[in-house]
Homo-oligomer: A and B are copies of this chain.
Amino acid sequence: MRFTSQTSSDGVIEQLFTLPFTLGEIPGVLWTPDGTAGTRPLILMGHGGGQHKKAPGIVARARRFAAECGFAVAAIDAPAHGDRPRTKEHNRLIGEMRNRMQTGGDVAPVLAEFHTLLANQSVPEWRAVLDAVQELDHVGAYPVGYWGMSLGCGLGIPFIAAEPRIRAAVLGLNGAETSAEAAAQITVPVEFLVQWDDERVPRAASLALFDLFASAEKTLHANPGKHAEVPMFELDSSLRFFTRHLS
């Protein structure tokens, strides 16, 4: 794991890193509260489709997790996103999705194929990042949470199902198409966000995914509005959810 830059503002240190993995590198970012040593809960954040590790919604949440809760937070570019290379297969599926969006075709099956392709790559990458980050003196081995919406939910579900270090998850804006089998293996507490007027994820698919989680404690929060219009008070709720389950 190699740190390439470090900045500090408003009590939060932000470190960009790259982690060598198989034939390439995983680019990531780590936020930690400034001036406090020792181990702490870690939140792994999975960005949405078309976004990247420093998308505004990721940065804003990560800084609050670090500043208000004292958590460490890590985000990485998902495969084919941000600074990651795209394969021919990535480009073919992205082109097909764009084409169907423009012509009013059915995007869902192509999106499901894309998510499945990325998840096969993403799960071992997240495990490698978690191994590396937990070895850092200012993070350490402590209970871990996962936060991911949309693509970050789709890639997070098989990761959470496979990774016992994850103890709680905030997920949402995704349906049951791609990750049904893994969802049914998740037993940790889940807070699941649904946008009631989501133009990308059918309401029934969201409710079906919530149904699948095997968690004894799972709570669904639905709010009016489109895919990208999650209200900011849900961030307050996420903060409290992780504090309750990781601290």
Chain A 184-210 interface mask (CB, 8 Å, partner B; 1/0):
000000000010100000000000001
Q: Among B220, B224, B236, B240, which residue has its beta carbon within 8 angstroms of that of A221?
A: B220
Copies in the complex: 2
The distance from the CB of A241 to the nearest CB of chain B, in whole angstroms, is 9
A211 partner residues in chain B, CB cutoff 8 A? 196
A219 contacts chain B at the CB level, 8 A cutoff: yes
Inter-subunit contact B220/A216 (CB<8 Å): no
Contacts of A231 in B (CB 8 A): 217, 219
CB distance from A192 to the nearest CB of B (A): 9
With beta carbons under 8 angstroms apart, the residue of B194, B218, B233, B237 that contacts A223 is: B218
A180 at the B interface (CB under 8 A):
no
Give a binary string over A222-245; 1 marks a CB under 8 Å from any B CB, 0 the rest. Answer: 111000000101001100100010
> Count of A residues near B, CB < 8 Å?
19
Label chain A's interface by main secondary structure: mixed
- List B contacts of A222 (CB < 8 A): 210, 219-220, 222
Per the bound structure, the CA–CA distance linking A233 and B217 in Å amounts to 11
Cα distance A194–B220 in the bound complex, in angstroms: 9
Docked complex Cα distance between A194 and B218 (Å) = 12
- Alpha-carbon gap, A138 to B194, bound state (A): 41
Please indicate the chain B residues that have their CB under 8 angstroms from the CB of A194 in the complex: 220
Q: Given A236-B240, A244-B233, are A219 and B221 neighbors across the interface (CB < 8 Å)? A: yes
> Which chain B residues border A219 with CB–CB below 8 Å?
221-223, 231, 233
- Report Cα–Cα, A218/B210, bound state, in Å: 19
Q: Is the CB of A216 within 8 A of B224?
A: yes
- Assembled-state Cα–Cα distance A168/B196 (Å): 20
CA of A221 to CA of B210 in the docked complex: distance in angstroms?
12
6 closest cross-chain pairs (CB), A and B: A220-B222, A219-B223, A221-B221, A219-B221, A218-B224, A219-B222
